[in-house]
Structure 1
Amino acid sequence: MGEQRRRYEVLPGNHGSRIKVNIRGEDILHIPRLNRGTAFTTEERKRLGLVGLLPSGVTPIDAQVHRAYQQFLEARAPMAKFRRLASLRDRNTVLFFRLLSEHIEEMMPIVYTPTIGIAIEQFSRQLTRVEGVFLSIDTPEDIEEALLAKGRHADDIDIIIVTDSEGILGIGDQGVGGIQICLGKKSLYTAAGGVDPNRMISVCLDVGTNNLGLLNDDLYPGVRHARVRGKAYDDFVDAFVTAAQKVFPHAMIHWEDFGAANAHKILDRYRDEVCTFNDDVQGTAAVVGAAATAAVRAKGERLRDQRVVVYGAGTAGIGIADLLREVMAGEGLDPDEATDRFWCLNSRGLITDASANVRDFQEPYARDSLEVADWEVDNQRRISLAEVVSHIKPTILIGTSGQPGTFSEKIVREMAAHVDQPIIMPLSNPTPLVEATPADILEWTDGRALIATGSPFDPVPRGDVEFEIAQANNALVFPGIGLGVAACRARRVTDKMIVAAAEAVASMVQMSTPGTPLLPRINDLRRVSATVAIAVAQAAAEEGVADVVLKDPVQDVFDRMWQPVYPEFILDD
């Protein structure tokens, strides 16, 4: 049994509100899950050997939250706010999540994107205490030992969040600094989905880095060589999956921010063998699918009848296309008909069967070159977005390109000339990379567009209507997916489970008045996550991949949701 498990044990049930403790005194104050600072009552201080180790006054948790929030506000710059929250997380687990849960909409951009990107870039120089597991490709024989070093038993972990740091947000290869993206996701799993923070592990696969700035930085703490690729990389990932399955056989492996060359390959390699989920592929697809479903329902239409242009056919873009295609098939289209509803573009223009350097996961969406042979275009081998929009008159336009301003006024007006309510989703983030701003899109479509974005935007006033802009944030789906998988002990994450997550989110949208957003509001995340979890668990049962069938889904899921309240300590005498 590991050191942490010898010191305390979270007892099952009751939302993690009972902990068996067999340590006393100052040691308790050094463990974030146990520490509650001046909230310890006089009686608790006597029982736990804390007399004299804290100021005499007892501070209720509500007052602690108020104080912590004021300290947060005093920090002006986003990174200063990030450091305040990280410091609190490392001192007091319950207080951190209570604060985050009560201010989730305000603090999510700090603990996650966009501020997390700055924290990752500054990782080498700001390095303090980091909670996670670092696995080096140079010592693959140490993988199992490293996972066991966390001191957890086989049944103790529900989710392993893992990155190789190659495709971090919009900033690319960041070496071992990518562990911060896993910690950000871990925080949201708990704050939004109620997944017990003790039942997750963050992992960085250190396979080297091609970031020359890091390799030449004396403070960089990762391995100092270029990224390993090919068979050695594949073998290392396989060794990790094998060890993770052995040590934590019931855990879902959440892949995060892998490069385009590996994200789909890894997902396809393991999805039929282990419980595995890629948030960049499946999570993004689910939340965008929810927005698209809500939009077409608001128009009184079906998804199967839409013409979809995906600008930026990378990991996220093709993941979105795959899910929308799955929904269309569920509405009665055969797979070929559903695929034919998509036009996907990469950096070289429209993908056709004559395009060069098409990746395996893009090939199903390559258009027949004969289909476009009679199009009037400047270059048949590089058909532009404007030319695609002009010829096919899409009803849905999705941007995952990372190319700012590419949804130009000309393109948007051309689309809106043929569609009464065009569905336009500029999803690239952070904000400087967005394909078009909501204010411009609404101006160019005379307020008719239905919009979702990847970054948060303020409401846009137009006349008597204030348009709330839906943020297609993965936090609307991945916490609920993880919670649902844990609740039913799913052995796999299937396509139907991801579609169920999208449908669950879309079902919560009521677009009864103009300006209503296409997605639920971020401050409603716990209710959204519980709804998603129920749908995912039920889909898993229908697919035959659930080891536990929920008898009372609402109660069963609620009982799984950890609450940020100070636990009762059961002393091990």
Structure 2
Amino acid sequence: MTIVLTPVWHNGVQKLKVTSRPPPARPAKGLLPVAFNEDVHYARCMAQLRSKDKDIEKNIYLTQLKDADLNTFYRICLNNMAEITPLIYTPTVGDACLQFRTTSFISLKDKGNIGKILRNWPRVDEARISVVTDGSRILGLGDLGVNGMPISIGKLSLYVAGAGIRPESTVPICLDMGTDTQRYLDDPLYLGLRQRRPSLDEAIEFMDEFMHEMSVVFPKLLIQHEDFSSAKAFAFIDRYRDQYPLFNDDIQGTGAVVLSGFLNAAKLSSAASGRPLTDHKILFLGAGSAGVGVAMQLMSFFKLQGLSDEEARSRIYLCDSQGLIYDARGPMAEHKKFFSRKDYEGPPMKDLTNIVNYVQPTALLGLSTTKGAFSESVIRAMSALNARPIVFPLSNPVRLSECEFHEAVEWSNGNVLFASGSPFPEEAFDGHMLYPGQGNNMYIFPGLGLGAIIARACKVTDSMVEASSLGLANSLTAAERDDDLLYPRVERIREISGQIALAVIRAAQKAGVDRSSELRSMGDRELLAFVQERMWHP
């Protein structure tokens, strides 16, 4: 069943008309050709999909197929993960957001009535996972307002495909909290509120009601926050993480997937240099919610090597659009202060090559959405310092990536340990094939969500997030390690999600936040089988 919230106007005030429609039924046999065959139907759908020459057209086709034939849509996803994931999520979902024209949202104008709206959801008892966005910081595209709804829909499709979450248990929500993008305020076809976004205090007042009502109406629901602006993302996760089963994928999910790839990259880099793992230093370009969230998560890498919190923090440097972040530079956003350097008091340092030469990092990570920021000069400087430099340009989509794989390969003479946010093709170099890693959050959040749901966790702890990262890092096969892969092949996503869910459940049990106490007596093999049995299959 799908809820449609349609804005209507009465005496100059916008209200929501709530209607519902049942999910599309599979056609009765009498309505199908006598010789109908599901395998032939599947092949025809794949042929139609591949006949389209633009990714956005493929996205539209898949969206329509999902609405018309859920089982075939997810069969296609599961059988072709590497091909389909970029079409239903990063990077094509960014284009889908820009063309979005749907009407499903909860508005600031609904304050005081949010619970009534949520209770119209037709399958309240089946709801297990919700992805919630306000569309304020989408994929490097900025504030898209209600046009961010495809983000929630796309993420939930990956929960279903990647971890076997039942489709009917997913709840996509876009919060219409206005927009600061002038072209949408001026656009007669824009369906959201034509007003500027509220202050943080006003947003928190609205979110207090929303989060409370979500917990009342959907008592078994895990909530994922997605693509909120940096200030609100940190404020909301800090405020609600101990009250509700909640995590922020930009802050925690991105941090976990990068930590996983970094663990594997650091071992390869140290093996090449002969330097201990404790010698690594990480330089970030980008200090928004994702950048700081990843930096916080990567402290775990150093603490796993026996370093203290302060020692771990000292190994991490951040840059923003004004250059190296340090205390003497002057006032800065609150979330940047934790990693602000106290050991530098010189003039502002803005050139990234100069910063690399000053910091002498073993790893360079980009979450800046600045195309080409990792220039030839920067990569060559990293290569001069390291036998195998770690370079992770993580910004999405491809057009905003700090560098491309072929550039990093060429400028590092084939020695780079590379992972990106968006997919890049493999590269032949010096007679052998090099494979780029993709630090895609879909490696983490489906398994993390599945584990939290099965454990019935009352909150998502840092230890559960770290467990998801370690579970991913340890999931490489021998063949994948032989190819120097930093992440496993995405075709194994269901297997990987099961392993991550197992690790997350164990972490929830150890933290005492699980409510499925009957799972505690199971051995790992029995519990993994239990997890796998609960995965939905089309």
Q: 1:147 corresponds to which residue?
A: 118
Q: What secondary structure does 1:32 align onto?
A: coil
Q: What secondary structure does 1:466 align onto?
A: strand
> Is 1:324 aligned with 2:295?
no
Report deviation, 1:158: 1.3
- Identify which of 195, 210, 215 aligns with 1:225: 195
Q: What secondary structure does 1:381 align onto?
A: coil
Q: 1:215 corresponds to which residue?
A: 185
Report deviation, 1:205: 0.9
Q: What secondary structure does 1:203 align onto?
A: strand
Letter in 1 for 2:399: P
Deviations 1:208-258 (A, max 9, x none): 111221122222111121111232211001110010011112211100100
Q: Which runs of 5+ in 2 are unaligned?
A: 4-20
> Is 1:271 aligned with 2:247?
no
CA distance, structure 2, for counterparts of residue 456 and residue 107 of structure 1: 12
Q: 2:471 corresponds to which residue?
A: 504
Q: What secondary structure does 2:87 align onto?
A: helix
Report deviation, 1:357: 4.3
Letter in 2 for 1:502: S
Deviations 1:334-370 (A, max 9, x none): 11111000010111111111234422222110101xx
Q: What secondary structure does 1:123 align onto?
A: coil
Structure 1 segment 131-530 matched on structure 2, within 5 A: 132=104, 134-153=105-124, 155-298=125-268, 299-300=270-271, 303-368=277-342, 371-373=343-345, 380-510=347-477, 515-530=483-498
Report deviation, 1:397: 0.7
Q: 1:88 corresponds to which residue?
A: 65
TM-score under structure 1 length normalisation: 0.85
Letter in 2 for 1:135: I
Q: What secondary structure does 1:398 align onto?
A: strand
Report deviation, 1:516: 3.0
Report deviation, 1:490: 0.8
CA distance, structure 1, for counterparts of residue 309 and residue 499 of structure 2: 29
Asked which structure has the greater CA Rg, the reply is 1
Letter in 1 for 2:157: S
- Identify which of 39, 45, 62 aligns with 1:62: 39
Q: Sort the Cα spacing of 1:251 and 1:304 in 2 relative to 1 into closer, same or farther, 3 A.
A: farther
% identical equivalent positions: 35
Report deviation, 1:451: 0.8
CA distance, structure 2, for counterparts of residue 121 and residue 560 of structure 1: 36
Give the conservation status (yes or no) of the 8 Å contact 1:511–1:518.
no
- Identify which of 45, 63, 79 aligns with 1:102: 79
CA distance, structure 1, for counterparts of residue 511 and residue 494 of structure 2: 25
Report deviation, 1:116: 1.1
> Is 1:36 aligned with 2:13?
no
- Identify which of 77, 86, 95 aligns with 1:118: 95
CA distance, structure 1, for counterparts of residue 419 and residue 356 of structure 2: 19
> Is 1:547 aligned with 2:528?
no
Report deviation, 1:434: 1.4
Report deviation, 1:515: 4.5
Is the deviation greater in 352-361 or in 427-436?
A: 352-361
Q: What secondary structure does 2:385 align onto?
A: coil
Is the deviation greater in 405-414 or in 176-185?
A: 405-414
Q: What secondary structure does 1:138 align onto?
A: helix
Q: What secondary structure does 2:219 align onto?
A: coil
Letter in 1 for 2:345: A
Give the conservation status (yes or no) of the 8 Å contact 1:32–1:92.
no
Root mean square deviation, CA, Å: 1.9
- Identify which of 534, 543, 553 aligns with 2:502: 534
Is the deviation greater in 196-205 or in 551-560?
A: 551-560
Q: Sort the Cα spacing of 1:98 and 1:336 in 2 relative to 1 into closer, same or farther, 3 A.
A: same
Structure 1 segment 3-22 matched on structure 2, within 5 A: none
Give the conservation status (yes or no) of the 8 Å contact 2:2–2:22.
no
Is the deviation greater in 406-415 or in 396-405?
A: 406-415
Report deviation, 1:510: 4.9
Q: Which runs of 5+ in 1 are unaligned?
A: 5-29, 42-50, 375-379, 565-573
Structure having greater relative contact order (Cα 8 Å, sep ≥ 6): 1
